[in-house]
Structure 1
Amino acid sequence: MTTQEENPPQDEPEQPEQATVDLDEDALGQTANVINNFFAGVSTRQANFGMTGAPAVRSAAGRLDRDDVERALAHFVRPAGFERARATLSERHLVLLVGEEGIGKWTSGVALLSATGFQDRITVLSPGLDLDGLLATSYRKGRVYFVHDWIEGKVENSVRRFGLDTLGTRLARAGAHLVITLNRAEARQGFEPFEIGWEPPDPLEMLEARLGRTRLTYERDGLPEEVTALRSPRQVVELAEQMLKGQPPEKIMADLCGGTVAGWFDGMPKRSEVFAVAALAFAYGMPERIFERLLVRLTAIADEVERQGAERERRSIGEELPQSRRLWNDANPLVRLSTDGGEPTVVFRSPHYREQVILQLYRVYGYGVLEPLRQWVRELADDLPEVQVQAAAGLALLARKRPDEVKESFLVPWAGGLVKERLAAANTLSLMCADDTTAAVAFTTALGWVENAGQPQAMTAALAFAGGLAIRYPGETVDWLWYLSLRGVRVSDVAQRALTLMFQAAAERDSEASTALRLLVMHLERDLGEGMEPQKARRALRAVLGVLTADRLDREESLMAWLLLSQPDSAEAIGTLWAWTLHNAYHRSDAVRALCRTLRHLGEQDGALAAAEALGSAVWSVLPEAVALLVRRSIDRACAERRVRRDSPPAKQVVLALLNAGARRISS
């Protein structure tokens, strides 16, 4: 940080660049809350979204401690190729597990690294690292590393083979080991020394591990034949859990494998019944009155598509409403009314049915059903926020099997559209992050919109980085949101708001905000330290101020005050960010007001004095002494104003704790 003398700030700061994008703050906040809850656990996804999946959505990078490893391997069954993979890992220090998504490659990778006698943790590297990035990584002796669902990129086979050879050599020299998993049908020829085609564990052995050998022997005769063909360990685990609850295996398998849904479609349901389940697949869990409205609109679009160019008398809504409720009130085998939340909502009878219905619609029907469905789902982007999110969830399920359909029919048109459509595209990318495979698709799609795709697309990417992508790829999202925050004013405005939203959401998830704050400090110090043109520097500091002045996601409480109290290790990063904004005369008055508000929110809470002192120590350790004197006076004057209650004893003590933290450096 430069040490040049600065003039005191003006009473009124200069006007910032005008925002030209009308973002619905309420919709952004509500959507962020829904997405946070969605990723909180599988029970939420099942109850509110009718979706199944992994019990916890993992960050693509980070660390797995010994306790994490023990939990993951509690009922692990080794697949057929495990010993070969372990031998390869031992000999070459590198192995790539290649196979379909959902067959247990993540757990197998953890088990292989555990078998090396790892120390205290597994370091999980980002799947976004290309081969050059993996080669540039510093590997430590005795450490083990993991890349799950690696995004390979387009590299010539000869270059890839040379790169893997070099990577293996570097790992061997470092005494480190690396396992990479790839979602690909089979291993490539010529890569046998590293790539191993992976298969799931034997399902009956998995059941034995879950139920116990005695229980399984007793039940074996009652197991449907389809059990032996299960390729998803997740399905085997669910089968075991349901059997332990006393459910008959035949009924469980029919729900798990889609037999119930396929049988219903094979029974040639009526047109009205098909559109009812189609509407529910993309508008799940809506109150009856809202679902009814949405279904009527879908039916009207289907009529228009079917009779294009023909003169017809439009039927009134009143003639259709009395009949529609029979579609879910007359013992429909797929649909039911739920009264768990008070007002009746329309849901599927099993959390598996939603995805299965979507896949059956695309398997069985053609233009007459799918085109009205496309048009209707695109319209949902302009509906209620809860409807928008449910439409995004349906598309996320469709993307598991038909990612190109989702991208071409929905994501691309929305990304170049109006504000609500861009938010719909961002929501879809966020919810795609619930699944390992579609998370990678979502990430690469957003990256494709960052540059050379148009301003609307770049703004859509920024919104997407604030959601589910920030959970899967926390490091990369800070990088890209920072980059977008320095772009032209329209993109910068959205990216800065998205950056703040990302921190608001991350603060509700353990210690993720502290890590993101340190990354933000790194970007700010690097870019301002190396020198930036004034306009970009102002955008950079405005982006930081947006984070420092933010409230928590769901309440009017200073985000920074809450972090200082709940995550004390964040004080150094928060103080460094504040020091940079306080050092700049253009932003100083705003930064001082925000700092005083944060101190007011610290108030009389336990730990307030320690938090203020830690914050002050960080600020004064960064600011040059001459600037620090000006800043200290500005804070003293601002905090004396009545609106921040400077005269109340607790607040006064908090302010003094901040100011005196640097007393050894700053004379009074």
Structure 2
Amino acid sequence: MPETPQPEGQPADEAAPDGPEPDPEEAKQEGQGDNESPGEEGSFDEGALGQNATVINNFFDQVDGSHSIFGIGARRSTHSMTGTLDLVDIEKALECFVAPECFEKALLDLCGHRVVVLVGREESGKWISAIALLNRVKQRNAKITVLSPARTLDELAAKTAFREGRGYVIQGWVADAGAATLQRFEFETLSRKLEQAQAHLVITLNRGQELSGLEGFHVGWRTPDPLKLFDAYLNGIAVTDEIAEVRRQAIELRTPRRIAALARQIALGGQSPTDVLADLTGNEVTKWFGDKPKRSEVLVVAALAFAYGVPERVFERLLVDLERIAEEVKLRGREPEKRAYDDTLPQNRARWGGDHPLITVERVPGPSAGERRIVFRGSQHREQVINELLRLYGYDLWEPLRLWIRGLADDLAEVRTQAAAGLSLLAAANSQEVRESFLEPWAGGGASEQLTAALLLSMMCADDALAPIALNTALSWVMDAGQPRAMTAALAFAGGLSIRYPADSVDWLWFLSLRAIRIRVVARRALVLLFQGAAEREDGALQPLRLLARHVDLDLRSPIEPGRARTALAAALAVLSCDRLEADDDSLAAWLLMSEPESAKPLGVLWAWTLHSAYYRRDAIRALYRALRALKGRDGAIPAATALGEAVWSALPPDAATLISQAIERAGAAVRENPEDSIRTRELVLAVLKTSGERGRPHGTRTGGGGTDGHPISDH
């Protein structure tokens, strides 16, 4: 499933240039402590988790606004928001950059303090400006590293290994907390560390204004000149009278992203500049609401905004529910109205059929080809309708909408998906409303509500401005928020957050996989889903795999209670035993060994720990045989098996190697295969076993740490 390429020269905060390369050492964040409430009631349907979380994990590569999935005009790219931007990424991001007036002040502060925070509302151009600032101060050929927005100032100063001459950036910082005086002290400490490393850091913060007392570190941010930005993205095409008029009106679009999109689309041609402007500004939607439609008509478009593209029969049912709830809200505290009996049959379908200016009915290809589905006419109409509903209506509309949407979490999977998609658009305009009215209640609710909350966070990750908010929301559920919310956080870390923040997701899923039973069951399954999804993407699963192996190695090298060690090994074994997401009965470990040869080392670490455990040895051998059988018949299978064997035995103490080798051979003798398959599997097993006899004490073995004969791996 290839990712959609990022549009070139995206100017706004939410647009990163194609996504940074993963840099696990610099994108790493350590987990925190744990406070558990094991007695909390409720249960989670792991079967439902397996089915729906898989959908979450693959959601972004399926967004298609041309039909009925989300009603968004174009695919939104999804890429990691942590990692490394190389020189090509930087050049591409800045090719149409227009500096705002506040740029020079920020540059002076950055040179003086080596760290600066760009403070302003969303979509004010802070992200690209941060890249431009760092490009001015970093060493000429140095890269820019993008760090997790969850890092605190203290963690940045104490735990981050800044490299000489490199620029660092945090997009959508979520960790600013505490009094300004304390923050100033922390900024000064961080400034000294950056000075020692000869590095620079720029942070973007989505907030109305900078804090008093942080002058020199906080810089209030403003958008660049809209006309200059329009001209930069027009790409030098001749300016006609029509383009000149559209250019004059471009200032009404307000955000750099929308202005750039207008100019870019005009430059591409295929549509008149006036039509492009009308599509982006939502003139048709504004006009329809300006005509003051009836209450029943508003309810139809409001329902469609959160139930877009569902079959007509389903939409009718949902609309009836919304109308009933709206009537109940209207009559709160009043006597029910007495109405005369009406024998006419309402012609409801006439409300969206025919020549409705915003709504139409279409038939889409697929398993249910020919089924009528209700959609908006324009690619931008869904988002524009939601914005108009926010701008024009209050309690009488939004209270029944809140109640109705909350109930959609228990409806069909397609309905839940569309509700989450609509709420992700609402979050772009009012994230606090979405968090308080939907995310928090759902996260603390039942299984279907938790899945819907996790799906909504994943959809928010499609927007670069909302992704840090999604991360911050999930982190708020990890500790001291109850087991249901912790389970919801685990689901979210397997979805869009695993694409945006892979290091954070592995860290926190590992942390959650060691908690109470209900939480760790979900977290373990989510960890598997994370790796299954990562393996199917272009960036691959190698970096997350290295992080997981590091967690296992660090935790189990230390003195650890046996029950906790078994819990940790169970999580590692779940990853070693799983299938590929897109191919049942195809070992993920085998596929990784063939497609990403460097994965042999972290896989070897995981297998070494599980093989050395008397409790899990049989399961680990079974998983190993399954992976080796999946390798047979493939070109390069013997070298892959040999590399895995070398990694396994280099992590095991010599006195354990003989015992484990014998156990592997005995297991092979008990496996029933046809003769030809048995011979091929035997060759691969021998390739793994051969390396055990070629090594003495493993290179780099450390003494101490409670391991057998001083070796770090002990038999848990």
TM-score, length-scaled by structure 1: 0.90
Q: Distance in 2 between matches of 1:568 and 1:324?
A: 60
Match of 1:97 in 2: 118
Contact 2:243–2:273 (CA under 8 A) maintained in structure 1: no
Which of these residues, 486, 493, 499, is aligned with residue 521 of structure 2? 493
SS in 2 for 1:329: coil
Distance 2:254 2:636 in 1: 52
Query: Of residues 279, 284, 297 in structure 2, which corresponds to 1:273?
Result: 297
- Rounded to whole Å, the distance in 2 between the matches of 1:152 and 1:553 is 34
Task: Give 1:408's match in structure 2, choosing from 412, 425, 436.
Answer: 436
Q: Report if the CA contact (8 A) 2:114-2:195 is conserved.
A: yes
Residue in structure 1 matched with residue 147 of structure 2 by the alignment: 125
Residues 145-156 of structure 1: matches in 2 within 5 Å? 145-156=168-179
Alignment of 1:235-634 (within 5 A): 235-243=258-266, 244-307=268-331, 310=336, 319-320=345-346, 323-341=347-365, 342-343=369-370, 344-556=372-584, 557-634=586-663
Look up the match of 1:16: none
Equivalent-residue separation in structure 1 for 2:568 and 2:56 (angstroms): 29
Query: Which of 194, 205, 213 is residue 228 of structure 2 equivalent to?
Result: 205
- Structure 2 residue 681 is the aligned partner of structure 1 residue 651: yes
Q: Secondary structure at the match of 1:330?
A: coil
Distance 1:241 1:645, change over 3 A: farther
**Considering only aligned residues, what root-mean-square deviation do their CA atoms show, in Å?**
2.8
Contact kept? 1:596, 1:644, Cα under 8 Å: no
Corresponding position of 2:31: none
Distance in 1 (CA, whole Å) between partners of 2:377 and 2:257 is 20
Correspondence for 1:70: 91
Specify whether residues 643 and 278 from structure 1 end up closer, same or farther in structure 2 by C-alpha distance, changes over 3 A only.
Answer: farther
Deviation at 1:666, TM superposition (A): 8.2
* Alpha-carbon distance in structure 2 between the residues aligned to 1:578 and 1:159: 46
1:175-194 aligned within 5 A: 175-194=198-217
Tell me the secondary structure at the aligned position of residue 69 of structure 2.
helix
Q: Are the equivalent residues in 1 in contact too, given 2:65–2:73 (CA < 8 A)?
A: no
Q: CA deviation at 1:122?
A: 0.9
Distance 1:473 1:214, change over 3 A: closer
Structure 2 residue corresponding to 1:169, chosen from 182, 188, 192? 192
Kept after mapping to 2: 8 A contact 1:187/1:196: yes
- Partner residue in 1 for 2:108: 87
Q: Matched residues in 2 for 1:43 and 1:107: separation?
A: 27
Using the TM superposition, name which of 277-286 and 112-121 deviates more: 112-121
Distance 2:462 2:74 in 1: 7
Helix, strand or coil: the match of 2:117? strand
Give the distance between the partners of 2:642 and 2:241, measured in 1 at CA: 65
- For residues 394 and 464 of structure 1, do their structure 2 counterparts lie closer, same or farther at Cα, with a shift above 3 Å needed? same
Aligned equivalents of 2:66, 2:554: Cα separation in 1: 40
Change (3 A) 1:507 1:317: farther
Q: TM-score, normalised by structure 2?
A: 0.84
What SS does the corresponding residue of 2:693 show, helix, strand or coil?
coil
- Structure 1 residue aligned with 2:666: 637
CA distance in 1, matches of 2:673, 2:121: 58
Shift, 1:295, TM fit:
2.2
| Conserved 8 A contact 1:203-1:228 | yes
Match of 2:219 in 1: 196
Alpha carbons 1:72, 1:107 under 8 Å: kept: yes
Q: CA deviation at 1:293?
A: 2.7
Task: State the alpha-carbon separation in 1 of the partners of residues 337 and 583 from structure 2.
Answer: 54
Aligned equivalents of 2:198 and 2:694: distance in 1? 47
Whether the 8 Å CA contact 1:224–1:250 is kept in 2: the answer is no
Q: Distance in 1 between matches of 2:414 and 2:391?
A: 28
Secondary structure of 1:124's match?
strand
Look up the equivalent residue of 1:133 and give its one-letter code.
E
Q: C-alpha offsets along residues 596-632 of structure 1, whole Å, 9 cap, x if unaligned? A: 1111112212222222111111111112223222222
State the shift of 1:507 in Å. 1.6
Which residue identity lines up with residue 638 of structure 2 in the other structure? L
Q: Which secondary structure does the structure 1 equivalent of 2:581 belong to?
A: coil
Deviations along 1:83-116, one digit per CA (max 9) or x if unpaired, are 3333333343222222111122111111222223
1:38-83 CA distances to partner (integer Å, 9 max, x unpaired)? 2x48756997312368953342321111221122122222222333
- The code of the aligned residue for 2:488 comes to T
Instruction: Give 1:134's aligned residue.
Output: 156
More helix by share: 1
One-letter amino acid of the structure 2 residue matched with residue 462 of structure 1 = A
How many residues are paired up? 646
Kept in 1, the 8 Å contact 2:230–2:247? The answer is no
Q: What is the distance in 2 between the residues matched to 1:337 and 1:86?
A: 53
SS in 2 for 1:247: coil
Q: Is the 8 A contact 2:361 2:375 kept in 1?
A: yes
Q: Deviation per CA, 1:639-661: give whole Å up to 9, x if none.
A: 34455557424333222222223
**Conserved 8 A contact 2:53-2:451:** no
Counterpart secondary structure, 2:598: helix
Q: Offset of 1:128 from its aligned partner?
A: 0.8
Q: Give 1:287 deviation, angstroms.
A: 2.6
> Counterparts of 1:329 and 1:529 in 2: how far apart (Å)?
67
Looking at structure 1, the residues matched to 76 and 127 of structure 2 have their Cα atoms a distance apart, in angstroms, of 14
Instruction: Answer yes or no: is the 8 Å Cα contact 1:21–1:494 preserved in 2.
Output: no
Q: What is the rounded CA distance, in whole Å, between the counterparts of 2:417 and 2:63 in structure 1?
A: 17
Contact 1:60 1:126 (C-alpha < 8 Å) held by counterparts: yes
The alpha-carbon deviation at position 24 of structure 1 amounts to: 4.9
| Aligned equivalents of 1:633, 1:313: Cα separation in 2 | 84
Is the 1:42–1:55 contact (alpha carbons within 8 Å) kept by the matching residues of 2?
Answer: yes
Deviation at 1:468, TM superposition (A): 1.6
SS at match of 1:457: helix
Q: Which amino acid aligns with 1:658?
A: V
Q: What is the rounded CA distance, in whole Å, between the counterparts of 1:45 and 1:102 in structure 2? A: 25
More divergent stretch after superposition (404-413 vs 480-489): 404-413
Deviation at 1:157, TM superposition (A): 0.8
Structure 1 CA distance for aligned equivalents of residues 595 and 345 of structure 2: 57
Deviates more, 1:651-660 or 1:120-129: 651-660
The residue matched to 1:216 in structure 2 has which SS? coil
